Amino acid sequence: MAYCNVCFRHCNIPEGKTGFCGARTCQDGIVTADNYGLVTSLALDPIEKKPLTRFMPGSIILSAGSYGCNLRCPFCQNSDISWSEEALKLRNRTEYISPEDLAYTAEYYSKDGNIGVAFTYNEPLVGWEYIRDTAKLVHDRGMKNVLVTNGTASEEILLEIIPHIDAMNIDLKGFTDRYYSDVLGGSREMTMRFIETAVKHCHVELTCLIVPGENDSESEIAEMSRWIASLETGREEGGRCVPLHISRFFPRFHMTDRGPTPVSTVYRLAEKAREHLRYVYTGNC
C-alpha cells in the first residue's frame, strides 16, 4: 500500500490497485500514473473552447485527454473518460502517445496555426507526470502549454508543473463548502489555494457552471467575484486580471432532475459579477 499526494483525497492505494480517480496505481510500493501517455481524445480546438478568451484569442491548440478524475460531478459531460468505473474500461481502448510524439505532433500542426498543447477533457492532473514531461518538450519547440483543470491538486504537484504552463482555465464550480463536498465530492479550500498560487505564475481564467438550485444565487456570485477580485493586482495599470466565465447548465448524466439554467439567470449573474470584475463572459447561451 502506498500514499498518493496528488489531491485532497490522500488515497492509500493497495498494491496493484487504483485510487479513487481510476488513474493512479500502486506498483512495488510506489504510486504511479497508470494513465501515463494513454490518450482517449485528441483534437485541434479553438482556444476559446477551453475556454480561454484573453490568451492568444483566435488561435487553435492541440487538445489531448486521457482518463480518470478525482471529482464526481453528477452532470459531467465527459463521464465516459472521467468517472473511474467507466474510465477503467478504457484502459485497453487508448492509444499510447509518448511525450516526444505529442510534442512533435503539436509542432507539425503549427503549419495550420497550432500554438501548442492543451491538457484537457478528463482531469489532467491525475496524470501530472505526463504533463510535466510533455510540456517541457513543447516549450523546447517554442510552443505554448495550456491546462484545463478542476484545481484540486496539491500545491506540491502544482509547483512541479507550473514552470511549464502558460495558461490555465480552472473550474471554480461554486462558492460554498456544501456544494463542493455534497454534490461534487470535492474541496473548495484546495481549489481556492490552487487558484491563489496559479495566478502568481501564469495566465488564469476561471469557469463557473451555474446549476439551478445549487449555486445560482446573486449573493454567492457576489462573494465569489469579490474573492477573485482580491487576487488581482494593478488592474488600472494593466496588471493581472482574472477573467470569469459563467456558463449555462444542461441536464445530463446523473443530473436530469432539473431543466437547463435560464439564459436570463446567466446574464443576471454575469452582471452581478461585473460589479467586481473587469472581464466576465457568458457561455452556452
Averaged pLDDT for residues 62-80: 94
d(CA 137, CA 126): 20
Average model confidence (pLDDT) across the chain: 94
Q: Inter-axis angle of helices 218-230 and 263-273, to 10 degrees? A: 40
- pLDDT tens across 102-117, in order? 999 999 999 999 999 9
pTM: 0.96
**pLDDT reported for residue 86:** 59
- pLDDT tens across 173-212, in order? 999 999 999 999 999 999 999 999 999 999 999 999 999 9
Amino acid at 166: D
Quick one: the chain helix, strand, coil %, rounded to 5?
A: 35, 25, 40
Domains of the chain in sequence order: 2-283 (3.20.20.70)
**pLDDT reported for residue 92:** 66
Inform me whether the pLDDT recorded for 83 exceeds 70. yes
**pLDDT reported for residue 88:** 63
